Amino acid sequence: MDRRIICFSHARNLLGDGLGTLSDGLARRVEVDLRALAAFRIALGTLLLADLARRARNLTAFYTDAGVLPRSALFADYSDVYSLHAVSGEAWVQVLLFLVAGAFALAMVVGYRTRVATLVSWLLLVSLHVRNPMVINGGDVLLRVLLFWAIFLPLGERWAIDARRLTRERSTVASVATMAVLLQMVLMYVTNAVHKTSGEMWLNGEAVVYVFSLDQFTFLLGNYLEESHALLELFTHLWISLLLLSPLLVLLTGVRRAVLASLFVGMHLGMLLTLRIDLFPLVVVAGFVPFYPPVVWDALSTLASRLGLTDDLRRRLERLERLEDVVPDVSAPTRALHLARGRVLFSTILPYVFLVLVVLSSAQSLGYTQVPDHGETALDATKMDQHWRMFAPEPLQTDGWYVVPARLENGSEVDAFHGSQVDWDRPPSVEKTYPTARWRKYLSNVWSTDNENHREYFGDYLCDRWNRQHETDVENLTLYYVRQPSEPYNETEPIYDVELHEHECAGVETAPADR
C-alpha cells in the first residue's frame, strides 16, 4: 500500500513538473517586453496619423456624397453599414471626424488615457473603413486588427503620460492578449503561405518576376529591378521560404526570434522601396515590434547611453509623464471598482474568444472549417474576419490603366478622369496614371465584375466633378480599362481596350454654388 502511495505521489509530482515546464515554456514564448509594447503603441498612433493624412488627399472623392460612393449607394449596396462617417455626406463633417481621430491617435502616441484612446481610435477606424469598402487594402485590414488587439494590451506602462500613475513594477507581460498579437502576424503569414502554395508561380520562382513586371505597382527601386529576373526569382524562393518558416516566430525565443523577425522586417522594408502598396509594409513592421525580446531593448538602451542620448530621452519622458499633473484625474472609487470587476472579462475572456474566432476565420478562408453563425456575427461586427490573399494564389498577370473619353457639349473630347486629351498609347509610367495607391485599389475593384454597379457611381462622380470645375459640361463618357498582359519573359505585350461602361451625364445634378 505504501509503495502504491509513493508511486502515485511520484506520478503526480512528475505531472505537476511537466505542466509547470509547459506553462513556463508557453509564458516565455508569449511574453512581451513593456518597452516593445510602448514602441508598438507609438508606431500604431503614428501610422493612424499618417493614414488619416494620406486619406485626406481624397476625402471628398471617397467619403462624401459628392464622391464615388454617396450614402444612397452605400446603404443600397451594403446591408451592414454602421458608420459614424455615414451620418452626413458633407465634407466638413468628414474633416471634423478626421480631426477627432487624429486627436485620439496623438493621445496614443503620447500615452494619455491609452486604453480609451486605443479603443476610440479602433472604433473610428472601423467606421472609416465601413464608409467606403471599395478602397480598403490589406494594410488597412492589418492595421485594424492590430489596433483591436492593442485595446487589451498594457500599452501605457512605459514611455507614456499614463506611466506616472502606475505603481506596478514589471518589465514584461504574458497574457492572452500578448499571445493574440503575436499569433496574429503568424496567422497572416501561414494563411498567405497556404494560398500561395496552391498555385505554381510561387513554387517555381516566377511570382516576384511577374509582380515587378506590373508597372502599376512598381516605383523607386522597383523600376530598376524589373529586368533582373535571376535576382527576383531568388527573392521569390526566399520569401516563400520565410512564409513557411513563420510559425518559428512564436516557437523561438530570445535572439533567434529577433533575427527571424528582422528578416521579415527587412523584406517588407524592401517592399516599401520598390512597390507602391500604400502603408502596408510599415504596418507590418509595426506588427513585428512586439516580437523583439528584452535583450534587444537592453542593447538599444546601452547604445543610446553610449551615444549620449539616454539623459536627453529620460528628461523628455519625465516631462511627458509630468503632463499628468496638469490633467485632473476624473476617475472615482466606484468607477475603479467597476473596472476592477470587469478586468478579467476584458483582459482575458474577450481576447481569448476572439483569438479562437480569428483562428477559425483563417482556417475557414482556407476551406478547412466553418465559423459558427454567432462567431460570424461577432467577427463581422468587429471587422475581424480575415483572408490574407495578397498576391495569392498567383500574382496578377495583367497590367492596366484607365482611359475615359468624354464628349463635351461643344463637341470636343477629353479624358474625364485625367483631365487631359484622350491618349490610347501606353503611358510612360502606368503607376503615375493613378493619383494615389488608394485610387488604384478603388479602380481595381471597379474593374471587377462583382462591382458593375460601381461603374455607374464612378461615371456620376466624373460627370459631376467635371461639370463643377469647367464651364462646358460633359454630355456622356465611356469607361475603358486598357489591359496589357504581363509577359516578363517575352519582348512584346499586346494591348486590349476593354469597354466597361457607357454613361450619360444628363441626369447628374450639379450644385449651382460650385459652378
Q: How many helices (H) and strands (E) does the chain have?
A: 22, 7
The Cα–Cα gap between 336 and 470 comes to: 60
Q: Is residue 179 part of a domain?
A: yes
263 and 161 fall within a common domain: no
Inter-axis angle of helices 437-447 and 452-469, nearest 10 = 130
425 and 497 fall within a common domain: yes
Q: Is residue 298 part of a domain?
A: no
251 and 381 fall within a common domain: yes
In the chain, the amino acid numbered 477 is: L
Task: Supply the pLDDT for residue 476.
Answer: 95
Task: Supply the pLDDT for residue 368.
Answer: 92
505 and 472 fall within a common domain: yes
**Side-chain-side CA neighbours of residue 399 (13 Å):** 23
Does the predicted TM-score (pTM) go above 0.75?
yes
**Side-chain-side CA neighbours of residue 92 (13 Å):** 0
- DSSP per residue, 438-469: HHHHHHHHHHSGGGHHHHHHHHHHHHHHHHHH
Task: Supply the pLDDT for residue 204.
Answer: 95
359 and 247 fall within a common domain: yes
Q: Is residue 313 part of a domain?
A: no
- As beta bridge partners, residue 483 has 400, 496
Q: Is residue 334 part of a domain?
A: no
Are the beta carbons of 163 and 111 closer than 8 angstroms?
yes
Q: Is residue 312 part of a domain?
A: no
Largest CA distance in the chain: 108
135 and 200 fall within a common domain: no
Question: How many beta carbons lie within 10 A of that of residue 223, not counting itself?
Answer: 13
Task: Supply the pLDDT for residue 4.
Answer: 63
In the chain, the amino acid numbered 148 is: F
144 and 76 fall within a common domain: yes
322 and 454 fall within a common domain: no
Q: How many domains does the chain have?
A: 4
160 and 47 fall within a common domain: yes
Residue ranges making up the domain that contains 21: 1-28
Q: Is residue 301 part of a domain?
A: no
366 and 244 fall within a common domain: yes
452 and 463 fall within a common domain: yes
Q: Is residue 345 part of a domain?
A: no
419 and 386 fall within a common domain: no
Q: What is the mean pLDDT of each run of 10 residues along the chain (515 residues)?
A: 60 56 80 97 98 97 97 90 94 98 98 96 97 96 98 94 79 94 97 94 95 93 93 97 97 96 97 95 98 95 80 62 49 47 69 95 92 93 92 92 96 94 92 94 90 94 95 95 90 86 76 39
Q: Is residue 358 part of a domain?
A: yes
